[in-house]
Structure 1
């Protein structure tokens, strides 16, 4: 059986490309986005009663997943990219139906330029992601105290992130202009180690990602990650 569903919204995210996005929601609490609700779903009445909710389930499409055929076995980045698991034992975007589900913090509704926007944070969503549905997170049923997972038993270990003095000054200036704590946001993202786990850190290699209106560049040292450059793209 085949079904088709409308996109009810479109994500405007701080993450402008796939590389560097946290591998799960909630790992970078300062990572923010807005869901632009599309007509006819942009009616504020559809959100009546949500004001007492702290978190949301967002169901979305992995629109940037280019693989057209699914495979029963995948290589999760968490396992270094060299060990396979069944696709239904993972959260791989390469699925029979490329649908994702993330729990995010609900930061309120906004209306701007005639658009209804749902503000969210702690995201793992790429800019331009189509949204299929939004539901409230209900703690007494959604938080399962005795839940377990055989291979993802602990959150990934953080690696140290060094921000040199001149780039810390850039971050402070950026925060003054935008109210975004750029230094802390970068730390939350980079300490997750965006590098594919099968790659050995190369101190000569410069890595990069696009975040907000910036090009972020860093390298690996013996002690962790060192930020090397912040470039404004605007």
Structure 2
């Protein structure tokens, strides 16, 4: 079977660091889905406006996994980097076919612009420019399992931390951007195995570079600046 992208999603994240680890965790994060020309036909999404959510099947396009080497065990980041689980018991990007799955809310469907149809969604957990391989409607009676077991994730699902801004950045970011960024940072972007006190972390968000540290389980934003040609990424 040969598959090809049907669309591309555009989001606020130009780098992997900082992206929520699951879809729906930050409702304020939005994405714009633009179809490839071959699939750019409003008839293809007729009826989708009747649904509130969709499933997106996409590619971990920046994953450096070697497709020739199957790795059966991975380290879920929420488990501290020391505990291994079977790759098919995780949502790790280090998987044979590099496919991701996200459940997102439909905000708007544009059927009149030059790029139509364009789908605007919220609750994303996807890198900017990511290829989309399929879109399917979320069907509550079939997709929602209220008695489902959470497995090892039950101990890691609510690990949000407090966020404070050490100074006023209103000359750089809007109040809406600040609120969205706050919710992103509350998820604690740091890997569980790389949590250092007083270390300055860097994260790209929208057109800005955000620098922060964590002290006494409080994430403190110490600087925000515009990204430009002189910007140097933190590795």
What's the TM-score once normalised by structure 2's chain length? Answer: 0.90
Q: Does 1:30 align with 2:28?
A: yes
The equivalent residue for 1:44 is 42
* Equivalent in 61, 64, 71 of residue 63 of structure 1: 61
**Structure 1 Cα separation of the partners of residues 31 and 201 of structure 2:** 24
Distance 1:206 1:111, change over 3 A: farther
CA shift for structure 1 position 199 = 2.1
**Gapped regions of structure 2 (runs ≥ 5):** 229-235
Partner of 1:124: 125
Q: By how many angstroms is 1:156 displaced?
A: 2.5
- Equivalent residues, number: 224
Query: Matches of 1:210 and 1:37 in 2, distance apart?
Result: 25
The answer to whether 1:156 aligns with 2:158 is yes
Q: Distance in 2 between matches of 1:87 and 1:74?
A: 6
What does residue range 96-111 of structure 1 map to in structure 2 within 5 Å?
Answer: 96-110=96-110
For residue 201 of structure 2, what is the aligned residue in structure 1? Answer: 207
What residue is the counterpart of 1:94 in the other structure? 94
Moved over 3 A (4+): none
TM-score when normalising by structure 1:
0.90
What does the per-residue CA deviation read over 1:93-133, in whole Å, with 9 as the maximum and x for residues that have no partner? Answer: 11111111100111112368621221111000001110000
Structure 1 residues 60 and 223: alpha-carbon distance in aligned structure 2, compared to 1, 3 A threshold: closer
Question: Are 1:62 and 1:99, in contact at CA under 8 Å, matched by a contact in 2?
Answer: yes
Matched, 1:141 2:142: yes
Give 5+ residue unaligned stretches, structure 1: 176-180
